[in-house]
Structure 1
Amino acid sequence: MIETIVLDVGETLTRDDRYWATWADWLGIPHHTISALVGAAVVQGRDNADALQLVRPGIDIDAEYAAREAAGRGEQLGERDLYPDVRPALGGLQELGIRVVVAGNQTAKAGDMLRNLDLPADLVATSAEWGVAKPDPAFFARVLEASRAMPSETLYVGDHPANDIFPAAAAGLRTAHLRRGPWGYWWADDDAVQAAADWSINSLTDLLDLVSY
């Protein structure tokens, strides 16, 4: 029985199109160019950030992030970035008595912005706040601490095979692969992903039926 559901952030709760558009604007390239390069990285199984390296080889992403913040063109996250099924699904899970945790590879600023959205969640945490990022096993050790449930009673939901499904399954958690966003769509029917995921879902509202069984 599932007692706790832990959800990734990017392309699970939030759309990444504004995130990448702001990087395109900062680097002075068309939005469709960065989208295509992110897609190429996805198909090759590379990290999304490699798209920035393709635009500007040798880029120091942390330094550029700081420069964007200093210029008032930094990270943004608001209601418009949430997928429409987020509030109904998370609220419905809480009504069923499920503990809801949000935990993904984000900055501390993103954590603050997510908490300011007052999501139906018992806890919101980011990798920057925990000091460890996916797919490090230590991240999923923190997930289990936040879960307050056994690994077999904890379900991790995400779109990214290498960052979400494979390491969560290796940590003993149940997993649900979400067909959403570039990673989610491209890898949804991959044999290894299908084998590692306990469930494949098309919407977060599918979780309501899943935990009701």
Structure 2
Amino acid sequence: MNPPTADEYLSFFREQIPLCIQPMDQLHSVLRYLKSKGLKLGIITNGTVQVQEGKIHQLGISGYFDSIVISEETGVKKPDPRIYIKALEQLKVIAAEAWYVGDHPHNDIVGATECGIKAIWYTRDGEWDESIEVKPYRTIHKLEELIHIYAEHHES
């Protein structure tokens, strides 16, 4: 038998990786809450359409989102401002009214902030790199903290 080719390995990876994804705690309840408030929700993700759509399907979350922007399809990757602008256009939202939640300090927080979006850093228990000049609008350690931020923001 011949060993698998690089293309065969890649194909296997792209089919199987999405099946391994697990939802973070409270993912569905937080999305349900935000959607119940009439918010427009979007995803901006770097990667291939096959893998990223596979992950979204596996998590069962596509119905919550009004826009899904995948770098392979768009031709630009985070932190390129054009990927954020595309999502804003699809959502028909201006940057100053948008929040972006991400876990990568440079790709997510710097990229979104440079577009005028309020970037919320989901730490995943990581430490912020203080050499990064841009700072997140808010920092969360658990997804459900978004509910408190939203409520706080709308009480004022």
Give the TM-score normalised by structure 2: 0.79
Q: Which amino acid aligns with 2:29?
A: P
Structure scoring higher RCO (CA < 8 A, sep ≥ 6) equals 1
CA gap 1:114/1:125 in 2 versus in 1, 3 angstroms: farther
State yes or no: 1:197 paired with 2:147: no
Further displaced range: 148-157 or 73-82: 73-82
**Could you tell me which residue of structure 1 aligns to residue 90 of structure 2?**
146
Tell me the distance in 1 between the aligned counterparts of 2:131 and 2:91: 26
1:175–1:198 contact (8 Å) kept in structure 2: yes
Count residues in correspondence: 144
Question: Which whole-Å deviations, capped at 9, do the CAs of 1:99-122 have from their partners, x for residues lacking one?
Answer: 111111121102321442431322
Tell me the distance in 2 between the aligned counterparts of 1:123 and 1:114: 15
Unaligned runs of 5+ in 2: none
CA gap 1:87/1:192 in 2 versus in 1, 3 angstroms: farther
1:100–1:122 contact (8 Å) kept in structure 2: yes
Further displaced range: 166-175 or 145-154: 145-154
Tell me the distance in 1 between the aligned counterparts of 2:136 and 2:8: 39
**Could you tell me which residue of structure 1 aligns to residue 127 of structure 2?**
186
**Could you tell me which residue of structure 1 aligns to residue 150 of structure 2?**
211
**Could you tell me which residue of structure 2 aligns to residue 44 of structure 1?**
none
1:74 to 2, 10, 14: 14
CA RMSD of aligned residues (A): 2.4
State yes or no: 1:167 paired with 2:129: no
Q: CA deviation at 1:172?
A: 0.5
2:66–2:91 contact (8 Å) kept in structure 1: no
1:176–1:200 contact (8 Å) kept in structure 2: yes
Q: Which amino acid aligns with 1:209?
A: H
2:121 to 157, 162, 177: 177
Q: Which amino acid aligns with 1:200?
A: T
Tell me the distance in 1 between the aligned counterparts of 2:25 and 2:133: 26
Identical pairs, percent: 24
SS at match of 1:168: helix
Unaligned runs of 5+ in 1: 1-62
Tell me the distance in 2 between the aligned counterparts of 1:202 and 1:194: 21
Tell me the distance in 1 between the aligned counterparts of 2:14 and 2:130: 38
Question: Which whole-Å deviations, capped at 9, do the CAs of 1:121-176 have from their partners, x for residues lacking one?
Answer: 22333111212111112112212213321111110111111101011111111110
1:88 to 29, 39, 60: 29
